[in-house]
């Protein structure tokens, strides 16, 4: 039996195509609606915010979309990423299961986010964009876009959720080191930010508010700035599929095939990036891998949300999409996994979940950190608090396999490292970490404000 631990690909194995789930998804996509008229959006509306090449990817049904050479050259700074067999964790759990993880934390900014930040900056560059606006919660997305924007000589303006801005000064400094401008949202730079501050000067901000500010800044720039989103949209999930394409080859090197694939979900991009190529194998080649999306109990859009049309942002400026939502006015509790504090979920993931092709489970903050620390002590890597949700469920699967005496092959996405998140770990170590149950009442309240979309949409 091989004792190999790391399964590595060479630069030549770097994927040449992204995989588009729309080609194989048995569920047709619901229309995307204009936030004011509630009518299907036109490419004209989207082109205020995005370059045409990304709009075409957003609606494409081509199975494979070529990765431009300019993007592959930059991917080579950190791709292919390693697939690692968690042998020491298996021993610690005394499980017959085999546990593998794809480690995206080796990217320069520390997560999977550059997989889409780099092509988004590239397509904006060739469209002549000089500046990009975006939001960031925990700072992972802002760091990735700051890095990618700089590579292509595009100015980057980041609206960072105010609590994170103050709790995570090092993330802000990393973005500034790459050359970006970072503002604590709500700011006084936008009408929406000013309107919030007028009522509530100490508003801590949220991802939904920061998205509204970044969208407004681009939409009112007379074409000078475009907007970039780090998750949720089809083109973002598409770019992330390099993760799963590499993992398929690496599982092959390991001589195994996963029974279950696991990823945490905020907007859904790292989960989709790993899981969609395995879903293709399920749909087209008769495999039966279970695909499990893991969310926090504090923002449980798949497991507790309603599947309906809702706004993508708090100010109702972003398009309306059909998704599992907790309501656009719902502000999730301040869990440390800032990247998972979103009221909705990628529409393509929601459709597949609704069709029973993927599973979802919600886990609590405290047990998530129990798993993260157990993982760090066995494998050495401190997981990002977001990724720790996937670690929790991977461990639960391994323990379930042990109880049942099964040899189960488990693969999960370790979407980022937590080296900038040590304040959260300190709270855990000092027994001061808050735990959160389902936010039942706040969600019930937010449900009153869903858009009244005609049933025909
Ligand atoms: C942003 C982020 C997430 C959540 O976003 P998804 O689009 O759901 O992947 C998860 N893990 C890390 C490390 C992140 O930075």
pLDDT tens, position by position, 373-390: 999 999 999 999 999 999
| Substitution candidate for ligand 1 out of 105, 111, 296, 343 with most atoms within 8 A of CB | 111
User: pLDDT class for 151, splitting at 50, 70, 90?
Assistant: very high
Output the six-digit token pair for 59.
Answer: 């609606």
Work out the number of other CB atoms within 10 angstroms of the CB of residue 1. Answer: 3
pLDDT, position 454: 76
Among protein residues, the one whose CA lies closest to atom 15 of ligand 1: 140
User: pLDDT class for 338, splitting at 50, 70, 90?
Assistant: confident
pLDDT, position 173: 97
Q: What whole-number distance in Å separates Cα of residue 427 and Cα of residue 335?
A: 12
Residue 4 pLDDT > 90: yes
Look at residue 225 and tell me if it is in a domain. Answer: no
Look at residue 190 and tell me if it is in a domain. Answer: no
**Ligand 1: distance of its center to the CA of 342 in Å?**
11
Residue 349 pLDDT > 70: yes
**Ligand 1: distance of its center to the CA of 452 in Å?**
30
**Ligand 1: distance of its center to the CA of 315 in Å?**
23
Query: Is residue 123 in contact with ligand 1, taking CB distance under 6 Å?
Result: no
Look at residue 148 and tell me if it is in a domain. Answer: no
Output the average pLDDT for the chain.
Answer: 96
pLDDT, position 138: 85
**Ligand 1: distance of its center to the CA of 296 in Å?**
12
pLDDT, position 456: 59
**Ligand 1: distance of its center to the CA of 340 in Å?**
7
User: pLDDT class for 325, splitting at 50, 70, 90?
Assistant: very high
pLDDT, position 44: 85
Output the six-digit token pair for 450.
Answer: 């869903």
**Ligand 1: distance of its center to the CA of 76 in Å?**
21
Q: What whole-number distance in Å separates Cα of residue 353 and Cα of residue 19?
A: 19
Q: What whole-number distance in Å separates Cα of residue 291 and Cα of residue 281?
A: 12
Look at residue 130 and tell me if it is in a domain. Answer: no
Among protein residues, the one whose CA lies closest to atom 2 of ligand 1: 339
pLDDT, position 208: 83
Q: Where residue 425 sits, what CATH number does that domain have? A: 3.40.50.1100
pLDDT, position 282: 98
Residue 1 pLDDT > 60: no
pLDDT in tens, 86-103: 999 999 999 999 999 999
Q: What whole-number distance in Å separates Cα of residue 389 and Cα of residue 384?
A: 9
pLDDT in tens, 56-83: 999 999 999 999 999 999 999 999 999 9
**Is 296 in contact with 363 (CB distance < 8 Å)?**
yes
Residue 455 pLDDT > 90: no
How many domains does the structure of the chain reveal?
Answer: 1
Q: What whole-number distance in Å separates Cα of residue 8 and Cα of residue 103?
A: 11
Residue 290 pLDDT > 90: yes
Q: What atom of ligand 1 comes closest to residue 270's alpha carbon? A: 9
pLDDT in tens, 204-240: 888 889 999 999 999 999 999 999 999 999 999 999 9
More confident residue, 377 or 3: 377
Query: Is residue 386 in contact with ligand 1, taking CB distance under 6 Å?
Result: yes
> Residue 437 sits in which domain range?
6-14+68-110+236-447
Q: What atom of ligand 1 comes closest to residue 111's alpha carbon? A: 13
Look at residue 441 and tell me if it is in a domain. Answer: yes
**Is 263 in contact with 412 (CB distance < 8 Å)?**
yes
Distance from the first to the final alpha carbon of the chain: 56
Look at residue 165 and tell me if it is in a domain. Answer: no
Bridge-based pairing of strands 409-414 and 98-103 is: parallel
pLDDT, position 457: 57
Look at residue 227 and tell me if it is in a domain. Answer: no
Q: What atom of ligand 1 comes closest to residue 273's alpha carbon? A: 9
Residue 299 pLDDT > 60: yes
pLDDT, position 368: 98
Query: Is residue 339 in contact with ligand 1, taking CB distance under 6 Å?
Result: yes
Query: Is residue 116 in contact with ligand 1, taking CB distance under 6 Å?
Result: no
Look at residue 222 and tell me if it is in a domain. Answer: no
């Amino acid at each position: 039996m091989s004792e190999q631990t790391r399964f590595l690909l060479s630069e030549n194995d770097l994927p040449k195509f992204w995989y588009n789930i729309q080609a194989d998804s048995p569920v047709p996509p619901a229309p995307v609606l204009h936030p004011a008229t509630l009518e299907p959006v036109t490419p004209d509306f989207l082109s205020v915010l995005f370059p045409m090449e990304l709009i075409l990817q957003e609606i494409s049904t081509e199975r494979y979309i070529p990765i431009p050479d300019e993007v592959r050259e930059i991917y080579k700074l950190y791709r292919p990423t390693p697939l690692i067999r968690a042998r020491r964790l298996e021993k610690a759990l005394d499980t017959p299961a085999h546990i593998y993880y794809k480690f995206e934390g080796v990217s320069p900014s520390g997560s999977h986010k550059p997989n889409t930040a780099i092509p988004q900056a590239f397509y904006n560059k060739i469209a002549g964009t000089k500046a990009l606006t975006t939001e960031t919660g925990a700072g992972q997305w802002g760091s990735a876009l700051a890095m990618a924007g700089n590579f292509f000589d595009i100015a980057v303006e980041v609206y960072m959720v105010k609590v994170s801005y103050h709790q995570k000064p090092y993330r802000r400094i990393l973005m500034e080191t790459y050359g970006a401008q970072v503002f604590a949202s709500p700011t006084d730079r936008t009408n929406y930010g000013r309107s919030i501050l007028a009522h509530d000067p100490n508003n801590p901000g949220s991802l939904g508010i920061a998205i509204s500010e970044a969208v407004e800044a681009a939409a009112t720039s007379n074409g000078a700035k475009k907007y970039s989103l780090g998750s949720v949209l089809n083109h973002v999930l598409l770019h992330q599929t390099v993760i799963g394409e590499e993992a398929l080859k690496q599982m092959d090197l390991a001589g195994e095939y996963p029974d279950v694939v696991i990823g945490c979900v905020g907007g859904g991009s790292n989960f989709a990036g790993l899981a969609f190529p395995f879903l293709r194998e399920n749909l087209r080649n008769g495999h039966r891998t279970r695909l499990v999306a893991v969310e926090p109990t504090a923002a449980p859009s798949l497991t507790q949300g309603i599947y309906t049309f809702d706004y993508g942002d708090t100010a109702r400026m972003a398009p309306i999409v059909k998704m599992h939502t907790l309501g656009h006015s719902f502000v999730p509790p301040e869990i440390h996994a800032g990247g998972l504090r979103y009221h909705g979920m990628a529409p393509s993931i929601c459709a597949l979940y609704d069709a029973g092709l993927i599973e979802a489970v919600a886990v609590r903050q405290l047990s998530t950190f129990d798993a993260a620390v157990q993982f760090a002590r066995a494998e050495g890597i401190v997981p990002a608090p977001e990724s720790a949700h996937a670690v929790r469920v991977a461990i639960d699967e391994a323990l379930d396999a042990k109880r049942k005496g099964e040899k189960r092959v488990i693969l999960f996405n370790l979407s980022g490292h937590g080296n900038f998140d040590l304040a959260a770990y300190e709270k855990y170590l000092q027994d001061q970490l808050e735990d959160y149950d389902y936010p039942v009442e706040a969600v019930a309240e937010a449900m009153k404000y869903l858009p009244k979309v005609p049933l025909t949409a």
